[in-house]
Chains A and B, each alone.
Chain A
Amino acid sequence: MTHSSFLIRAEGLTVEREGQRLLDGVGLSVEPGRIVTLVGPNGAGKTTLVRVLLGLMQPDAGRVERRPGLVVGYVPQRFQAPPSLPMDVDAFLRLGGASTDVRRREVLHGLGAGYLQRRPLRALSGGEMQRVLLARALLRAPEMLVLDEPAQGLDVHGQQELYALIARLRDETGCGVLMISHDLHLVMAATDEVICLERHVCCVGAPEAISRHPEYLRMFGPDWEGFALYQHRHDHHHDLHGNVVPHARQHGPACGSGCKHE
């Protein structure tokens, strides 16, 4: 597999804060036209990883490579603009950089949000805010879109719509997409590659393979409820197809398929 065409690539990212290891040797790469989805439980380091990739945070080890001059469109987690700040959607979009009125209207329309242009920011619903944030990212004509839990606070229908929209944007613009998601089943149709993260990369692969992967089932399967109490240590690694392979460096002889979590 060659990486010559990557938009962003990371290797061995490790982040420690207050003696806690938030990320442990994480690597990934996003190529143009590919949608990569990060899944993992709360506290798995998904947002930390995205922050490092965006350059908002320095890793303690590892490195991030970006294609030179890479334009990133970022859709942060849902947030509330300060209520004391009077601002409408159009003014919010203008903050993202130079854009014409026509272009802003066009982009909002394309997202089915044309009617929002003159709405005050604080009057937006969760789904509307998501579209506005997406519009601000798209106005930058990004080569890569980064979305942190874009479906948060949306109902199932809204989530499906949003993921379909993201897939359509990828098809139209050919941009690469990296997003964080909670629910693999909804995001599946719109994803090329899934990365299960739990401080380290647990498994990587196509969504269909991941959804049957034991690691994924352990995280999101029937015993999901008990997850918070479940401590585990890895003694293996996974290849791109989700198969277990022995960890070359840290572990001794192959542990094969009889991997243990404790």
Chain B
Amino acid sequence: MNELLLPDFLWRALLGGVGIALLAGPLGCFVVWRRMAYFGETLAHASFLGVGLGLLLHLEPMLGVAAVGAVIAVLLARRHPSEGLAEDTLLGLLAHASLALGLVVLAFMEDVRVDLFAYLFGDILALQPEELFWIGLADVLGLALLAFMWQGLLSLTVHEELAAVEGRRVMALRLGFMLTLAVFVALAMKLVGILLTVAMLIIPAAAARRLSATPTQMAAGAVMIGVLSVAAGLSASLKFDTPAGPSIVAAAAGLFLLLRALPRRG
């Protein structure tokens, strides 16, 4: 009974958080399996450029973030791993150059006052109904795409060349995955902020690893742990008046530690 009396903004926060956790589960598993945490960080850092460009062009900042993320995804998906700069160097370069450029762009717009703190750590309690709609849409499309690519992506994750010889479309799969990740980052930024987006991907997935014997179990486990973290984080935020985004991530980290006590499967 008591929960039903929650204010609207809290319901929206809860729904939005669950929506993000739904997509973060399977997506985060692939980030963990494919060791792409730093790629996620790069997308998150580049969000600043997206926000800057969005405001400059009078667009929704989320669209700018998704667009910049898509460009980075295409650049990196087309690249041959053995060519040129080492992967981490290139990612670092892209991450910090776009972060710096974004801040410069923001500084140029004198009439815009940007709440940096909200972008860095998110503002899940300020979610608007139309933002919920976007999260819902991204969930449906993103999960459908991931389900469609599931076997192919797994095959790629285990051995890319074997997958290629067996006729998997390696480039298309890689690109599809990276673009989904870019969209996710744009949405999650709103909720937990640029600095904590990757945490929503990797912590629930890492926590689910020990409980799972199959990839599907791990993805489902990551979703459940993500949803629990959102609920626990929001409750804590309400009770102790702590910032919501960081509370959610702290709750996820707590669950990770708790689950380590359980025996390992698979």
Footprint of B on A, CB under 8 Å? 51, 54-56, 72, 74, 76, 79, 81-82, 84-88, 91-92, 94-97, 120-121, 136, 140, 146
Query: Which residues of chain A are near B266, meaning CB under 8 Å?
Result: 86-88, 120
Query: Which residues of chain A are near B165, meaning CB under 8 Å?
Result: 54-56, 72, 74, 146
In the assembled complex, how far is the CB of residue A192 from the closest CB belonging to chain B, in whole angstroms?
A: 23
In the assembled complex, how far is the CB of residue A142 from the closest CB belonging to chain B, in whole angstroms?
A: 10
Contact B166 A85 (CB under 8 A): no
Q: Does B235 contact A (CB under 8 A)?
A: no
Query: Which residues of chain B are near A51, meaning CB under 8 Å?
Result: 161
Contact A87 B158 (CB under 8 A): yes
Tell whether A74 pairs with B162 under 8 Å between CB atoms, given A84-B32, A84-B33.
yes
Contact B162 A86 (CB under 8 A): no
Question: Which one, B161, B166, B215, contacts A86 given CB within 8 A?
Answer: B215
* Beyond A76-B159, A85-B33, A140-B166, 17 additional pairs, beta carbon < 8 A: A54-B161, A55-B165, A56-B165, A82-B33, A84-B33, A85-B157, A86-B209, A86-B213, A86-B265, A87-B158, A87-B215, A87-B266, A91-B214, A95-B151, A96-B166, A121-B158, A136-B162
- Once bound together, how far apart are the Cα atoms of A72 and B167, in whole Å? 10
Contact B213 A97 (CB under 8 A): no
Q: Does B114 contact A (CB under 8 A)?
A: no
| Contact digits for B36-71, partner A, Cβ 8 Å, 1 yes 0 no | 000000000000000000000000000000000000
Q: Does B128 contact A (CB under 8 A)?
A: no
B residues 204-251 touching A (CB-CB < 8 Å): 206, 209, 212-215, 217-218
Nearest residue (CB) in A for B206 is A84
Q: Does B109 contact A (CB under 8 A)?
A: no
Q: Does B78 contact A (CB under 8 A)?
A: no
Jot down 11 A-B pairs with beta carbons below 8 A, ordered by A: A55-B164, A56-B165, A74-B162, A76-B159, A82-B34, A86-B212, A91-B214, A95-B151, A95-B158, A97-B166, A97-B167
Nearest residue (CB) in B for A85 is B33
Query: Which residues of chain B are near A95, meaning CB under 8 Å?
Result: 151, 154-155, 158, 163
Q: Does B35 contact A (CB under 8 A)?
A: yes
In the assembled complex, how far is the CB of residue B169 from the closest CB belonging to chain A, in whole angstroms?
A: 13
In the assembled complex, how far is the CB of residue B215 from the closest CB belonging to chain A, in whole angstroms?
A: 6
- Once bound together, how far apart are the Cα atoms of A76 and B164, in whole Å? 12
Question: Which one, A56, A79, A97, A120, contacts B164 given CB within 8 A?
Answer: A56
Query: Which residues of chain B are near A74, meaning CB under 8 Å?
Result: 161-162, 165-166
Nearest residue (CB) in A for B162 is A76
Query: Which residues of chain B are near A79, meaning CB under 8 Å?
Result: 159
In the assembled complex, how far is the CB of residue A108 from the closest CB belonging to chain B, in whole angstroms?
A: 17
Query: Which residues of chain B are near A88, meaning CB under 8 Å?
Result: 213-214, 266
- Once bound together, how far apart are the Cα atoms of A96 and B164, in whole Å? 10
In the assembled complex, how far is the CB of residue B212 from the closest CB belonging to chain A, in whole angstroms?
A: 5
Query: Which residues of chain A are near B32, meaning CB under 8 Å?
Result: 84
- Once bound together, how far apart are the Cα atoms of A162 and B264, in whole Å? 33
In the assembled complex, how far is the CB of residue A48 from the closest CB belonging to chain B, in whole angstroms?
A: 12
Contact B162 A82 (CB under 8 A): no
- Once bound together, how far apart are the Cα atoms of A162 and B217, in whole Å? 35
B residues 145-183 touching A (CB-CB < 8 Å): 151, 154-155, 157-159, 161-167
In the assembled complex, how far is the CB of residue B25 from the closest CB belonging to chain A, in whole angstroms?
A: 14
Question: Which one, B157, B162, B213, B217, contacts A120 given CB within 8 A?
Answer: B213
- Once bound together, how far apart are the Cα atoms of A30 and B217, in whole Å? 43
Nearest residue (CB) in A for B151 is A95
Query: Which residues of chain A are near B162, meaning CB under 8 Å?
Result: 74, 76, 136
Query: Which residues of chain B are near A84, meaning CB under 8 Å?
Result: 32-33, 206, 209
Nearest residue (CB) in B for A74 is B165
- Once bound together, how far apart are the Cα atoms of A85 and B214, in whole Å? 8
- Once bound together, how far apart are the Cα atoms of A92 and B266, in whole Å? 13
- Once bound together, how far apart are the Cα atoms of A51 and B162, in whole Å? 11
- Once bound together, how far apart are the Cα atoms of A54 and B163, in whole Å? 12
Query: Which residues of chain A are near B159, meaning CB under 8 Å?
Result: 76, 79, 81
Query: Which residues of chain A are near B157, meaning CB under 8 Å?
Result: 82, 85
